[in-house]
Amino acid sequence: MRFLLNTCRAYSTSFPVVTRYRIAQLGRVGQIENARQVFDELPNKTVDSWNSIIAGYFQNNQPDEALLLFNKMPEKNIVSWNGLISGYIKNGMVTEAREVFDKMPERNVVSWTAMIRGHVQEGMMGEAVSLFWLMPEKNVVSWTVMLGGLIHEGRIDEARRLFDMMPEKDVVARTNMIAGYCKEGRLSDAREIFDEMPWRNVVAWTTMITGYVQNNRVDVARKLFEVMPVKNEVSWTAMLMGYTQCGRIEAALELFEAMPVKSVVTGNALILGFGQNGEVAKARRVFNQMKVKDDATWSAMIKVYERKGFELKALDLFILMQKEGIRPKFPSLITILSVCASLASLDHGRQVHAQLVRSRFDEAVYVSSVLLTMYIKCGDLPKAKLVFDKFSSKDIVMWNSMISGYAQHGLGEEALEIFQSMFSTGMVPDDVTFVGVLTACSYTGKVKEGLDIFESMKSKYMVEPKTEHYACMVDLLGRASKINEAVNIIEKMPMEADAAVWGSLLGACRTHAKLDLAEVAAKKLLVIEPENAGPYILLSNIYASQGKWNDVAELRKNMRARSVKKSPGSSWIEVEKIVHMFTTGDIRAHPEHSMIMKMLENLDVLLREAGYNPDGNFVA
């Protein structure tokens, strides 16, 4: 930068054009102070040099300084006035731009077009239309700007009338009309304009192909794609996404492998497309084939794993990404934070938090909500509370997360304290808030408080109880051995009880050995969730505990007929930043199998010595 500054000084006297270019260049790269220094040292300042430094201040979001310089100009030309208007518009200051426009001693087509563009960008279409028709002389750019504004506002028929009036239609105007018609689903109108184009560039071709893709006409899009004379990565990507969006995965993969140059953008799009269709293996195949990967590539593959429940693979890939020297950006960090929450991987979650702090991303409310969730799911409630307390302007999501977090970890008193403190901030509880609060009452045995809060939902807070609130109440009463009251709650529900409600009742009946009622609840669950193995297993165990072996056999038969299978249980633990996952039946594959089994045997002995007597009646 010092070399650039010295060069400007050396050439400032003899080469004013070069100096003006250097001032503009310094302004563009954010070195406005250096640009001003070069400008101030000019012995003879031309109008062009004044225009360049003023433009630099606008580019660096300093419109007040730009105006001060403009007012000091000894001589102004129309470029100076137009520069002031354009600078204001780029800074979103349309009102100020209009004031300058009205004061101009003369205006040209650039002045008028800049003002029209400014109003269009701010959504002020009425003013834009008025200016357009007042404009004494229009060129193809002003027509196209006005056309684009109408299309963006969805006023496609007005846009078509304007299009038909255009004395000269360039490829940009025609392409805009094609895009507008495609957005409205009027493909025949779009194709008519496309076919009438005297010359089509790659943007026009790609716009028409994308229009067909977005309207689920992928085969028509492919035919057009095949006759397209020159294809770029945007057109390839549009075609690939068309196949992935309609679930034609093999066709998408075939097209990808036929690409002469597999760009990073196209590969990233295909990874996400495969992921959305549940084709995780194919997404990884594309990922592995890509010779060049950017942060978005890694982020896309991590996101696919996270969305489809492969959290361990997502975490492993994130670790590999860092080993490869790729610095994760915001999307990757947020995704992996959710993964850490799902896996309760506190050490990795802390590392990601530190990276967010270094990048100053942690100051956003959304990021804080994700951080809060991560610490809660990892069981670090003190750290979660620190994140929570940091924000003075908390949204309802953060309040609900903190209440639910305390409730889920059995800290009902703390959850209720947070609930009470909400009201001092003016925050109004919503339906999610009451799920957390009622859960807290349930876990702490506060039956009366729970009943009072439930009754106040509608009368005091205007929140209509939903099935999840009734499920909380059934759980609250069931835990307190008030089974009859729980049944009474279900019978008075204004809507059909769902699986959560009957599941809560079933849990209470199992705990308090109410086998007849447990059988009723389990049968209700079978009706609601016939493909879920859980109710079958529970009901089978109930029948087995009562010696009803014929009923057990019938249930097993029904499970086979419906192809219902019990998913293997799994759990995981993080030790020294390594997440170990255990699945039913595969523990022997773990390298520490012998030590784990010995520890489990010791724990069993200790539990029995402490007086624990396991109930085998309901073991699946």
pLDDT for 253-297, tens place per residue? 888 888 887 788 888 888 988 888 888 998 999 899 888 898 899
Q: How confident is the model at residue 574 (pLDDT cuts 50, 70, 90)?
A: low
Containing domain of residue 591, as a range? Answer: 570-618
Within a domain: residue 321?
no
pLDDT at residue 203, as a whole number? 93
How many other C-beta atoms can be found within 10 angstroms of the C-beta atom of residue 21? 15
Within a domain: residue 235?
no
Range picked from 10-19, 232-241, 496-505, 517-526 for highest mean pLDDT: 496-505
pLDDT tens sequence across 338-380: 888 888 888 888 888 888 888 777 667 778 888 898 999 888 9
* Angstrom distance (rounded) from CA 531 to CA 93: 59
Q: How confident is the model at residue 13 (pLDDT cuts 50, 70, 90)?
A: very low
Q: How confident is the model at residue 5 (pLDDT cuts 50, 70, 90)?
A: very low
Q: Are 395 and 428 in contact (CB under 8 A)?
A: no
pLDDT at residue 11, as a whole number? 45
Within a domain: residue 578?
yes
Q: How confident is the model at residue 585 (pLDDT cuts 50, 70, 90)?
A: low
pLDDT tens sequence across 44-54: 888 888 888 88
* Angstrom distance (rounded) from CA 216 to CA 245: 8
**Which residues 6+ apart lie within 8 Å of 604 measured at CB?**
none
User: How is residue 487 written in tokens?
Assistant: 């049944």
Ranges 29-33, 53-57, 241-245, 486-490: which has the least confidence: 29-33
Query: What is the pLDDT averaged over residues 565-591?
Result: 58
- Kindly report the backbone phi and psi dihedral angles of residue 578, in degrees, each rounded to the nearest multiple of 5, phi listed first: -115, 125
pLDDT at residue 586, as a whole number? 59
* Angstrom distance (rounded) from CA 57 to CA 66: 5
pLDDT at residue 493, as a whole number? 94
Query: What is the pLDDT averaged over residues 127-147?
Result: 90
Within a domain: residue 393?
no
* Angstrom distance (rounded) from CA 594 to CA 583: 16
Residue 236, H or E segment? helix 233-245
Query: What is the pLDDT averaged over residues 415-444?
Result: 92
User: How is residue 528 written in tokens?
Assistant: 């609601």
More confident residue, 549 or 493: 493
pLDDT at residue 43, as a whole number? 79
- Residue 23, pLDDT > 90, answer no
* ∠ Cα 255 259 261 (to 5°): 155
Count Cα neighbours of 280 within 13 Å in the Cβ-side half-sphere. 12
Within a domain: residue 577?
yes
pLDDT at residue 272, as a whole number? 87
Q: How confident is the model at residue 620 (pLDDT cuts 50, 70, 90)?
A: very low
pLDDT at residue 593, as a whole number? 66
Query: What is the pLDDT averaged over residues 69-91?
Result: 88
The mean pLDDT value of the chain amounts to 85
- Residue 484, pLDDT > 90, answer yes
More confident residue, 573 or 98: 98
Residue 578, H or E segment? strand 578-583
Alpha helices in 246-329 (DSSP H): 249-258, 264-276, 280-289, 295-307, 311-323
pLDDT at residue 205, as a whole number? 95
Q: How confident is the model at residue 385 (pLDDT cuts 50, 70, 90)?
A: very high
Distances (CA, A) of 112 to 101, 139, 166: 8, 10, 17
* Angstrom distance (rounded) from CA 50 to CA 47: 5
* ∠ Cα 217 223 226 (to 5°): 135
- Residue 592, pLDDT > 90, answer no
User: How is residue 207 written in tokens?
Assistant: 């716009």
pLDDT at residue 382, as a whole number? 93
In the chain, the number of structural domains is 1
pLDDT at residue 473, as a whole number? 95
Within a domain: residue 294?
no
**Residue corresponding to tokens 């990808």:** 256
Ranges 73-82, 218-227, 542-551: which has the least confidence: 542-551
Within a domain: residue 400?
no
How many other C-beta atoms can be found within 10 angstroms of the C-beta atom of residue 597? 13
Query: What is the pLDDT averaged over residues 510-525?
Result: 84
Within a domain: residue 596?
yes
Q: How confident is the model at residue 496 (pLDDT cuts 50, 70, 90)?
A: very high
Sign for the CA dihedral angle at 495, 499, 502, 505 comes to negative
Query: What is the pLDDT averaged over residues 390-399?
Result: 86
pLDDT at residue 15, as a whole number? 47
Q: Classify 63 as helix, strand or coil.
A: helix
- Give the dihedral of Cα atoms 95, 96, 100, 103; nearest 10 deg: 70
pLDDT tens sequence across 93-109: 999 989 989 988 899 99
Beta strand pairing call for 570-575 and 578-583: antiparallel
Q: What percent of the chain has pLDDT over 70?
A: 90
